[in-house]
Structure 1
Amino acid sequence: MSKYIGPKLKLSRRDNFDLSLKSGCKLIESKCKFNKIPGENFSKKYKYSDYGIRLREKQKLKRIYGILEKQFLNYYKKSINKKENTGNYLIKLLESRLDNIVYRMGFASTRRESRQIINHKLVLVNDKIINIPSYHVTPNTIIRLHKKLLNNPKIIFSINLFKNKEKLDWINVNINNLSGEFLYTPNRLDILKDINENLIIELYSR
């Protein structure tokens, strides 16, 4: 599967769910016909099969975190080998990605923007430059942006958006010096409450 470069809001419309692919400075309903599923001949009366329902849930989760099929499958394989509930562990693995943590800390308005910052070697993890967006962040890890980003307009814009969002207990952020600490891996009930990961596990278990 190749990287998707088409209209981002079209993906959110397809899943009838805000995938956070845009900055969020405006309501998604004001940016597009959110309640209208893309496709000229798509009927609202159309009913997905059991397989289709599970597939759509998987696609939704992949698009939220911005990862491709092969990488997502690898996360699933890691999850099934753990004693913990497979679905819960899968979500925790995705939530512990470096690009997601930088996004959660408010240093990027989208996960895609977060990946760009990381790829440009502008993110330090425990004072060491890491340029791998999928890097697994462990609890009590300090994450800091490079000092050259202190007055960056995009970073300032992202931080202003972050101030209006709900505070996350598992992340401690110091906006003044663009740093934060990943305190602990969040509980499943605290993240992505609209995702049914059991449908995804059932899809791969077929």
Structure 2
Amino acid sequence: MARYTQAKCKLCRREGQKLFLKGDRCYTDKCAYEKRPYAPGHSGRMRKKMSDYAIQLREKQKVRRMYGVLEGQFRKYYERADAMKGVTGHNLLFLLERRLDNVIYRLGFANSRDQARQMVRHGMFVMNGRRVSIPSMMVKPGDAIEVREESRKVPVIMEAQEVIARRGCPEWLESDGANFKGTVKALPSREDIQFPINEQLIVELYSK
């Protein structure tokens, strides 16, 4: 599967804000966006007037890169969101939030969504008593997620537990870090997504 393999900090600089793709590093002075808050490349410092289409495209790319999904996957999420009842933009964000890799990141068992995705693929988690290995699985209220016994001493999990206090755990989830467990209490709401996202721009882009 095609994945972005270059420096992740370039993505934050390209989108003009932190996407928190490098875990704890994003909260320190080592963050590349803090040092160079402009787009990469020779013309990165130049001010450019963006068209409406460019603004919509950048918003879509920002959200897609933040959640770590490919273009084809993202379009399928949009089509699914559009077919659901309610506000399409909100539905899209809810589907992305309910991905298993995102939930594990939100619960504080990984420093980033990318790291969470890799850990899920390696079978380091159990959901409702069954081992899971598909990062795109959709969680639902009542689901119980737990780190497998043999994976609890993995350094990255221990580090992530120390960092979660900086970003907090959303209200729709309940994290029990001491026992390496987490529970999905409810479906996410728009208020649970604090990151600055204008989902209406994405809807306008795909509606053309």
TM-score class, shorter: over 0.9
What displacement does 1:163 show?
A: 2.8
Match of 2:171 in 1: 169
Are the counterparts in 2 of residues 19 and 64 from structure 1 also a CA contact under 8 Å?
yes
Match of 2:103 in 1: 101
Match of 2:6 in 1: 6
Which whole-Å CA distance do the structure 2 matches of 1:189 and 1:118 have between them? 27
Q: How many residues align?
A: 206
User: Which of 60, 67, 70 is residue 68 of structure 1 equivalent to?
Assistant: 70
Residues 29 and 57 of structure 1: is their aligned pair in 2 closer, same or farther, counting only changes over 3 Å? Answer: farther
Which whole-Å CA distance do the structure 1 matches of 2:194 and 2:70 have between them? 19
Structure 1 outlier segments of 4+, above 4 Å: none
2:136 match: secondary structure: coil
| One-letter amino acid matched to 1:182 | V
Mind listing any 5+ residue stretches in structure 2 that lack a counterpart?
Answer: none
Per-residue Cα deviation, 1:110-136 (whole angstroms, up to 9, x for no partner): 111101111011111101111100000
Residues 27 and 34 of structure 1: is their aligned pair in 2 closer, same or farther, counting only changes over 3 Å? Answer: farther
| Structure 1 stretch displaced more, 76-85 or 41-50 | 41-50
2:24 match: secondary structure: coil
Are the counterparts in 2 of residues 118 and 131 from structure 1 also a CA contact under 8 Å?
yes
Residues 41 and 198 of structure 1: is their aligned pair in 2 closer, same or farther, counting only changes over 3 Å? Answer: same
Match of 2:121 in 1: 119
Question: Any residues of structure 2 matched to 1:32-111 within 5 Å, and which?
Answer: 32=32, 33-111=35-113
Identical-pair percentage: 38
Q: Please report the RMSD computed on the Cα atoms of aligned residues, expressed in angstroms.
A: 1.6
1:100 match: secondary structure: helix
Which whole-Å CA distance do the structure 1 matches of 2:12 and 2:195 have between them? 17
Are the counterparts in 1 of residues 38 and 44 from structure 2 also a CA contact under 8 Å?
no
Residues 105 and 118 of structure 1: is their aligned pair in 2 closer, same or farther, counting only changes over 3 Å? Answer: same
| One-letter amino acid matched to 1:99 | D
Which whole-Å CA distance do the structure 1 matches of 2:20 and 2:203 have between them? 23
Scaled by the length of structure 1, the TM-score of the pair is 0.94
Are the counterparts in 2 of residues 150 and 177 from structure 1 also a CA contact under 8 Å?
no
Which whole-Å CA distance do the structure 2 matches of 1:185 and 1:91 have between them? 11
Which whole-Å CA distance do the structure 2 matches of 1:18 and 1:193 have between them? 10
Match of 1:199 in 2: 201
